A and B are shown apart, each in its own frame.
Chain A
Amino acid sequence: MTAVPLSLEQAQDRIGRVLRGLRTYPMLSAGLMLILLVLLISLIGPLFVPREGVQVGSAPPDQRPSREYLLGTDTVGRQILAIIIYGTPLTLQIGLIAGAIGLGVGMIFGFVAGYYGGALDHLFRGAADVFLTVPGLLILVVIATTFKGAVSVMTQALVVSALAWMYPTRTIRSQVLSMRERGYVQLAKLSGMSGPEIIVKELMPNLLPYLAASFVSAVSAAILASIGLEALGLGPQNEPTLGMTIYWSLYYTSVLRNLWWWWSPPIVMIVIIFVGLFLISAGLDQVANPRLRRAA
């Protein structure tokens, strides 16, 4: 499709429709607002705060927040403000990559299991169920300690994605099961469409809001797993991700030394991210499932 330039009225109309949509779904828009805030901090922050602040010894240690060091410094002389500004996007990046891989694998497994059924269904659903029961963090610990050494942000995302596929698999499968017998799927089958074609052309478009909600929860779960691993010290050692900041602040017992400006900013950022993602996914659920709207 070629892009048709919009006339002014059309553009206004579109913006108006988006705004009305946001008012219909207050949870979704509140969540988007929070995530937008986080993105703005990590996009605009670097314009004012130089990256050097992330490095060890760039400032005197254990400084309280002051005009010079807005959020103070940690025990090895890193500036907390710089850590937050340069670390938050890394954490988001890990979550997005792992969430995307998780959703991708989950979509393949879920659609195949739900649409074809039979032995494949037993295999994929069984695998998802077994891995869902198991505490994921421990398996990730085994993976991360084995492949220790220079962990990059990318490897961290790959490690976390190893256990990000189960929830999408399960939820997508159950959705597909309920759609498989609908009229339009039957019609597509009769008109000679192949299985993969039906999945891509008929099922996926109908599940779009649902897939979006799954993606957001997958990202959220991946971030949770990632900061959990990092809090154990199993993350990118030289990158200021939010989880590694928590790890170092625990390592240097920042709570007992009353260095509140060290451990509280990453917690605040993590909470904003989780609340934002939760609201977005709950909001998308409302879009996908009109029955929930009345219950809200």
Chain B
Amino acid sequence: MPLGYLLRRLTVFLLIVWVAASVNFFIPRLSGADPVRERLLQMAAVGGTGTGTVEEVVKSYQAKFGLDKPLWQQYLFYLADMVRFDFGVSITRFPNSVAGMILDALPWTLVLVTVATLMAFAIGSLFGALVAWPRAPRFVHVLAPPLLTLSAIPYYLLGLILVYFLAFTWRIFPLGGGYKVGTQPSWSWAFIQDAAYHSILPALSIILSGVGFWALSMRGMMVTTQGEDYVTFAEAKGLRPRRIFLRYALRNAILPQTTALALALGHVVSGAVLVEIVFGYPGVGNLLYQAIRTFDYPIIYGVTFMVIVAIGLATLILDLLLPVLDPRITYHRT
């Protein structure tokens, strides 16, 4: 792999990390007020948690961010903290560290989003390829319009509909949460089974509304591929249609799809965050939602940073894998 390509991709990744950190630093300062301090003062005024704790939080907060120092120095300290994943402590659940809370929630989101996205990608691509294939079975054309309509519904709204019918009315699936109330997360077989059962509906809402999106772009790709000379030649050779479909048309059409996957990740995660809220799923989306409701800024900033870094990393890996998968992609194009 040429060094230049690797370096360029790494630069983009570092840029993404830098943007994520800077957004968290500058947007609050642009507003003129310091939201964290305001929130702390507000809590002190209410006095709900006892002034002792608030004083402690304020002190640790001010010492940590060195508020007396000039702005550029604060910025550098901030960047250094971010890179070390040091997001400070939660305001509402002091003294829990934000990094720890995110680390508890992140695996749930990662597994849910990865599995659901890959399934939506696989099913959607296959389906889209079939829609464009003249010899496709009939049911494909019957299913196409409803699937396309589903793709116009945001994930979480579809989730709401699924909860109502499959969990509330027919009680096939649990209403929400990541595992049975009263159990503790562990690596036992029973717990994993329970967690998988609870994740079916959230995953289904991501898959159902994702399939149409992938099918649509795959269909376009397949239409182009079918006009290619090598497909015509394969037909002329008398190869079996199944083989032409899988080995000649589909195989060449799927690769540009993978590029689209790298681009769509951010969008998918935005949707998944909201899905988690609908289902009360114990991932970062729910953590973020709780933090928004209590204006727990360190958590909001921490989640934003971590998720953006995770997506940047996933995109980086995909980008480095793509040229290996598809020799037609040159390293010189970004």
Residues of A bordering B, CB below 8 Å:
126, 129-139, 141-143, 145-148, 224, 227-228, 231-234, 246, 250, 255-256, 258, 260, 263-264, 267, 270-271, 274-275, 278, 295
Contact = CB atoms under 8 A, between A and B. Distances in A.
B27 A142 contact: yes
Contact of B274 (A129, A147, A228): A228
Contacts of B175: 256
Interface string B259-275: 00011011101110110
Residue of A142, A231, A264, A267 with most partner-chain B CB within 10 A: A142
Interface in B6-65: 12, 15-16, 19-20, 23-24, 27-28, 30-31, 35
Contacts of B19: 130-131, 134
B79 interface: no
A255 B153 contact: no
A45 B97 CA distance: 51
Contacts of B24: 142
Residue of A137, A260, A295 with most partner-chain B CB within 10 A: A137
The 3 closest A-B pairs by CB, nearest first: A137-B270, A274-B152, A135-B266
B301 A135 contact: no
Nearest to A246: B157
Interface of B: 12, 15-16, 19-20, 23-24, 27-28, 30-31, 35, 149, 152-154, 156-157, 160-161, 163-164, 168, 175, 220, 223, 262-263, 265-267, 269-271, 273-274, 277-278, 288-289, 292-293, 295, 297, 300-301, 303-304, 307-308, 311-312, 315, 334
A231 B277 contact: yes
B27 A136 contact: no
Contact of A135 (B12, B295, B297, B307): B307
B27 A143 contact: yes
Contacts of A233: 292-293
Contacts of B28: 142, 146
B149 A275 contact: yes
A95 B133 CA distance: 37
B315 A271 contact: no
A134 B300 contact: no
A34 B195 CA distance: 41
Contacts of B15: 126, 130
5 contacts: A135-B307, A135-B311, A146-B27, A263-B164, A295-B223
Given A132-B263, A138-B308, 20 more contacts: A129-B334, A133-B262, A133-B266, A134-B308, A136-B266, A141-B300, A142-B28, A145-B295, A146-B28, A148-B35, A148-B295, A224-B154, A228-B271, A231-B156, A256-B175, A267-B161, A270-B154, A271-B152, A274-B154, A278-B152
Given A130-B12, A130-B16, A255-B164, A141 B292 contact: yes
Contacts of A137: 270, 273-274
Given A134-B19, A135-B311, A141-B292, A267 B153 contact: yes
Contacts of B293: 233
B308 A135 contact: yes
A136 B223 CA distance: 32
Contacts of A147: 31
B157 A267 contact: yes
Nearest to A273: B152
A142 B315 CA distance: 22
A290 to B, nearest CB: 14
Contact of B292 (A145, A227, A255, A260): A145
A256 B307 contact: no
Contact of B297 (A138, A145, A260, A274): A145
B160 A295 contact: no
A195 to B, nearest CB: 25
Contacts of B273: 135, 137-138
Nearest to A257: B168
Given A138-B303, A145-B300, A271-B149, A232 B308 contact: no
B19 to A, nearest CB: 6
A133 B315 contact: yes
A126 B27 CA distance: 21
A288 to B, nearest CB: 15
Residue of A126, A250, A255, A274 with most partner-chain B CB within 10 A: A255
A139 B300 contact: no
A226 B237 CA distance: 54
A129 B15 CA distance: 10
B308 A234 contact: no
Contact of A133 (B157, B223, B263, B295): B263
Contacts of A138: 270, 273, 288, 303-304, 307-308
A227 B154 contact: yes
A136 B31 CA distance: 19
Contacts of A129: 12, 334
Contact of A134 (B153, B289, B311): B311
A120 to B, nearest CB: 16
B300 A135 contact: no
Contacts of B307: 135, 138
A270 B31 contact: no
Contacts of B266: 132-136
A224 B267 CA distance: 11
